[in-house]
A = this chain, B = another copy of it.
Amino acid sequence: MGGIPFIVSAPSGAGKTTLCKKAVDFFPDLRHSISYTTRRPRAGEVNGVDYWFIEDRVFDEMIARDEFLEYAGVYGKRYGTSKKDLDNLLSEGLSVILEIDVQGADQIRERLPGAVGVFVLPPSIEACRVRLKQRGKDSPEEIEKRLNIAVEEIRKAALYDYIIINDDLEAAFEHFKSVIAAEKARTPRMLEKIAGLFGAVTEIK
């Protein structure tokens, strides 16, 4: 049985990355898709764990070979998701979290119709500002730029299957866990799983 691809998007500072890490730690059959990027590693980031860090030239070659499910330029650097990496995980029966920005999600939705979209919403723009400041990775100007983009991104939340408000991290994680578990119990996936158990069930599929 194939795994489920989950597309997770959020404006900067909504807490998406923390939620996704917790989910991957929790579900033994859930993996994180590792994106390819042309930006330099930040302190502590590991190649093949956080990202595949590649040269611009290699990125261009991957585009030329149509290896990306989606790619996008963010703040002058490029990020892309390998279709082959994803297919390999799914065909092993593993579900996969793809942390994708709103632009990239639009591309994937068309190319991966079985994907489940989850939008993580901050309780307010002010809460994003506080999180970005606490993270301490961006300059004040960079933070304001990200917040302006955030407002635009939030307008796309309605295109996702689920919306999770990340007000309290534990409560948001409970919701996210429920979404992942419930999607596994969806009838088309269950019919695949139980085929043979009750031959009759699948007859009227």
Using a CB–CB cutoff of 8 Å, the interface residues on chain A facing chain B are: 119, 121, 123-124, 151, 154-165, 174-175, 177-183, 185-187, 190-191, 194, 197-198, 200-205
Question: Are B163 and A190 in contact, with the CB atoms below 8 A?
Answer: yes
Known: A121-B194, A187-B163. A174 touches B181 (CB 8 A): yes
Q: Which residue on chain B has the smallest CB distance to residue A176?
A: B185
Specify which of B155, B161, B204 is in contact with A204 (CB 8 Å cutoff): B155
- Taking the closest CB of chain B, its distance from the CB of A175, in whole angstroms, is 5
Question: How many monomers of this protein are in the complex?
Answer: 2
Question: Are A154 and B198 in contact, with the CB atoms below 8 A?
Answer: yes
Question: Are B156 and A204 in contact, with the CB atoms below 8 A?
Answer: yes
Specify which of B181, B191, B201, B202 is in contact with A182 (CB 8 Å cutoff): B181
B-chain residues with CB within 8 Å of residue A164 when the two chains form the complex: 185
